[in-house]
Structure 1
Amino acid sequence: MISPCSPPLEPPIPPARTPASQTIVSPPSLPPNLPNLTLPSPPSSLQAPIPPPPPLPPLPAAMGVAPPLVFGLEKSQLLKEAFEKAGPVPRSRDDVKRLLKLHKDRFRSDLQWILFCADLPSLIQEGPQCGLVALWMAGALLAPHRNISLEGLVQMAVERGYSAQGEMFSVADMGKLAQEALGCHAELLCGGLGGPNRHRVLQHLVTGHPLLIPYDEDFNHEPCQRKGHKAHWAVSAGVLLGVQGVPCLGYVEDLELPGLFHPMPGAANQPPSLPEEGSSGAIYLLSKQGKSWHYQLWDYNQVRDSNLQLTDFSPMRASDGRAYVVPTGGVRAGLCGQFLLLRPQESSH
């Protein structure tokens, strides 16, 4: 099921070529006699091989939390050190409670809050692969037994002509890839997260299904507005709703944070009344993206506005020496105001 603005997301025939509807954005030719910008070699006293660090101790079985998967970990000592300091991947509920305590001034005290969330694995990207990293994380909810690797997703995207090196500038192509690789149902919506799409997005997240959305990424990974120059992808697998009153049926108040409620597992839940569209600061998307293994809470309207202004291909990307696959019509045609609702194939709602 898709919006009228887009053709059906049918699984493609897998040709190993670039579709005619897309363009390879190649790096410009470099002028001759450029200075050598290679960093100088370290002094000989520092060139002795450094022994690898000892393996990380296994996590206690009682925690039930897997460590983050870091793409390129074996190549980077910096990443290894950050990994060792970070510890296990936080669960979504624990990370939300941390954020609520840390930034309590952001959240309206006149509301009660209901958290709908699902746990996602973490994968730190290397290079322009944020969309495929987000899809890989969503796959943990959609197809947990398929064991799809990031490398497999990149290879498939390149073979289908959707990508040159893992980048994804087309929401429609991402939907086709999701259906083929994960065997899930992908619904492409355009026109942004507001208006008639708003209710569908919130119901989708309350049900526990993931949302894939492109946006402009700020320095702290939150949504911003840079006309597409910082285009990035995130996956949302939950929502924090600010409501005037929590329904009596199927919810329990958090023991640590009064005013925060969770749906009771296995119980019938009375749907909450969704905040009105003009109500600011009452809806936060629980999101993850490929540059941090922590969850983030993003104001719904902030994400909506960022997604709606993706119009231009970054000049820095155009001159960074890499090739990119961009659909006809550019970033505006491929990303602006578009996103994907993903759910298991057997789920019709």
Structure 2
Amino acid sequence: MISSYSSPLEPPIHPPGNPSGQVPIIPPPLPPHLQGSASLPSSSSLQALIPPPPPLPPPPSAMGAAPPHVFGLEKSQLLKQALEKAGPPAGSREDTKRLLKLHKDRFRSDLRWILFCADLPSLIQEGPQCGLVALWMAGTVLVPPSGIPLERLVQMAMERGYTAQGEMFSVADMGRLAEEALGCEVELLRGGLGGPNRDRVLQHLVAGHPLLVPYDEDFNHEPCQRKGHKAHWAVSIGVLLGVQCVPSSGYAEDAELPGLFHPVPGMPCQPPPLPEEDLQGAVYLLAKQGKSWHYQLWDYNQVRDSNLQLTDFSPSRATGGQTYVVPAGGVRAGLCGQAVLLRP
């Protein structure tokens, strides 16, 4: 069952510039042989004594890829060091190929694979803001080039009573916030990611649109089943499909990984037949979440099962002394078997 919502974006506010910027040049003191002299050196002589200004820094394009935006980086030396060692974040295609090479035993060799993907920026969450971080990442696709500032999303969610400190335990509230903040089309998916909803989700991702999905997060960020005690949010921006044959036009085989195909940019391509639901290990979601700047490849059925068992509020959170906004009916009513489909 799918319900839908539809609000204009606020224009970005740019602070006024400071055009003055003129700094007086103070000449250096005269050398000893000129001090006390009746005749002062000319202005051209003084100008020759002033050292030349330092060279301007190189333009941003010459400095390489921008590092991921890491929330709380200025407070954590450990995060800063880890980010410096990691280098610039890889794109979705490169990260997917890295995962395919690293875990090739996970992927069926009797299938050909088609990757539909888009690139998202990285942002490491601070505190329980995984849902809003996922929405911010989706916003960079829906409202290019940079979406809506995370600080603005947090402020709006707090003002509307959706959150106390960044947490989002309601898919319905997430949908309302996405529609208002991003001005996008929102569909709320209920009844789980399987059954009749499965093809709708896959077609949505093949078309290049983001999916926001709550799940239980394991120690390695992958979906697990903890009855909602580890409830977390991710954004999916692509899908890896295992098929028996690739449509004849609109796709190109990867130069490094035989058997992996990509849609050719700018060329119309026929959507491939979606794998049957009972074909195990044939569909992987390409996802990102706020505790890592790398993409993840998750078995679709693993995500489906994790999403479908979000029923209980974490006991450690309940006794931790923090305030959270939980909808009537708890985690089961707010998250279980639900997701958010976003379109421009």
Tell whether the structures are fold-level matches, with TM greater than 0.5.
yes
Q: Amino acid of the residue matched to residue 108 of structure 1? A: R
Seen in structure 2, the aligned counterparts of structure 1 residues 309 and 122 have a Cα distance that, compared at 3 Å, is: same
- Larger deviation, residues 325-334 vs 139-148: 139-148
Q: Is the 8 A contact 1:65 1:91 kept in 2?
A: no
Deviation at 1:83, TM superposition (A): 1.1
Deviation at 1:65, TM superposition (A): 3.7
Percent identity of equivalent pairs: 80
Q: Secondary structure at the match of 2:271?
A: coil
Cα distance in 2, alignment partners of residues 58 and 157 from structure 1 = 39
Seen in structure 2, the aligned counterparts of structure 1 residues 296 and 63 have a Cα distance that, compared at 3 Å, is: farther
Q: Secondary structure at the match of 2:326?
A: strand
Cα distance in 1, alignment partners of residues 59 and 216 from structure 2 = 35
1:19-44, CA deviations, whole angstroms, 9 ceiling, x for partnerless residues? xxxxxxxxxxxxxxxxxxxxxxxxxx
Seen in structure 2, the aligned counterparts of structure 1 residues 146 and 124 have a Cα distance that, compared at 3 Å, is: closer
Q: Is the 8 A contact 1:251 1:263 kept in 2?
A: yes
> Highest CA radius of gyration, 1 or 2?
2
Cα distance in 1, alignment partners of residues 65 and 284 from structure 2 = 24
Cα distance in 1, alignment partners of residues 101 and 141 from structure 2 = 27
The TM-score with structure 2 as length reference comes to 0.83
Counterpart for residue 12 of structure 2: none
1:58-115, CA deviations, whole angstroms, 9 ceiling, x for partnerless residues? 8983797431100000111111111111111110000000000000000000000000
Q: Amino acid of the residue matched to residue 9 of structure 1? A: Y
Counterpart for residue 157 of structure 1: 157
The structure whose RCO (Cα within 8 Å, separation 6+) is larger is: 1
Counterpart for residue 101 of structure 2: 101
Counterpart for residue 332 of structure 2: 332
Structure 1 segments unaligned to the other structure (5+ residues): 12-56, 345-349
Q: Secondary structure at the match of 1:115?
A: strand
Counterpart for residue 25 of structure 2: none
Cα distance in 1, alignment partners of residues 62 and 146 from structure 2 = 26
Cα distance in 1, alignment partners of residues 232 and 58 from structure 2 = 33
Q: Is the 8 A contact 1:65 1:90 kept in 2?
A: no
Q: Is the 8 A contact 1:216 1:231 kept in 2?
A: yes
Counterpart for residue 27 of structure 2: none
The ranges of structure 1 where at least 4 consecutive aligned residues each deviate by more than 6 angstroms after the TM superposition are 57-60
Seen in structure 2, the aligned counterparts of structure 1 residues 64 and 286 have a Cα distance that, compared at 3 Å, is: farther
Seen in structure 2, the aligned counterparts of structure 1 residues 65 and 238 have a Cα distance that, compared at 3 Å, is: farther
Structure 2 segments unaligned to the other structure (5+ residues): 8-56
Q: Secondary structure at the match of 1:114?
A: strand
Counterpart for residue 210 of structure 1: 210
Q: Secondary structure at the match of 2:101?
A: helix
Q: Is the 8 A contact 2:132 2:154 kept in 1?
A: yes
Q: Secondary structure at the match of 2:173?
A: helix
Cα distance in 1, alignment partners of residues 79 and 216 from structure 2 = 24
Counterpart for residue 24 of structure 1: none
Counterpart for residue 9 of structure 1: 5
Are positions 1:302 and 2:298 aligned together?
Answer: no
Q: Is the 8 A contact 2:136 2:147 kept in 1?
A: no
Seen in structure 2, the aligned counterparts of structure 1 residues 208 and 129 have a Cα distance that, compared at 3 Å, is: same
Counterpart for residue 257 of structure 1: 257
1:232-254, CA deviations, whole angstroms, 9 ceiling, x for partnerless residues? 00000000000000010100000
Cα distance in 1, alignment partners of residues 145 and 289 from structure 2 = 22
Q: Secondary structure at the match of 2:98?
A: helix
Superposed CA RMSD = 1.8
The TM-score with structure 1 as length reference comes to 0.82
Cα distance in 2, alignment partners of residues 79 and 184 from structure 1 = 33
